[in-house]
Amino acid sequence: MMDWGTIIVSPGYTTLYRKYLSEAIDDESKKLFEYLIKQEEDHCVIIDQLVSLLSRPEEWVESAEFGLRKEY
């Protein structure tokens, strides 16, 4: 399955925040950009999970009578 979170969220803001982190001088700024990077990474995970949950019913209905299905 495609990694939608990384495609939609990560390339832009995570890269930008990493750049700002590397340029940050004080600890408060560094903590801020580390926090923002973590938030963007978490957004990627959430988006991937949403895509998985939204696409599973379509996949399951197509072949519901064949084999065992993973629990949601």
pTM: 0.64
Full DSSP string of 15-57: HHHHHHHHH--SHHHHHHHHHHHHHHHHHHHHHHHHHHHHHHH
Would you say residue 65 lies in a domain?
A: no
Would you say residue 70 lies in a domain?
A: no
Work out how many domains the chain is built from and give that number: 1
Q: 24 lies in which domain range?
A: 4-55
**DSSP code at position 72:** -
Identity of the amino acid at 37: I
Would you say residue 66 lies in a domain?
A: no
Would you say residue 16 lies in a domain?
A: yes
Would you say residue 62 lies in a domain?
A: no
Would you say residue 10 lies in a domain?
A: yes
CA atoms 11, 13, 15, 16: torsion sign: positive
pLDDT in tens, the chain (72 residues): 555 555 555 567 888 999 999 999 999 999 999 999 999 888 888 888 888 777 776 665 555 565 566 665
Would you say residue 67 lies in a domain?
A: no
Would you say residue 69 lies in a domain?
A: no
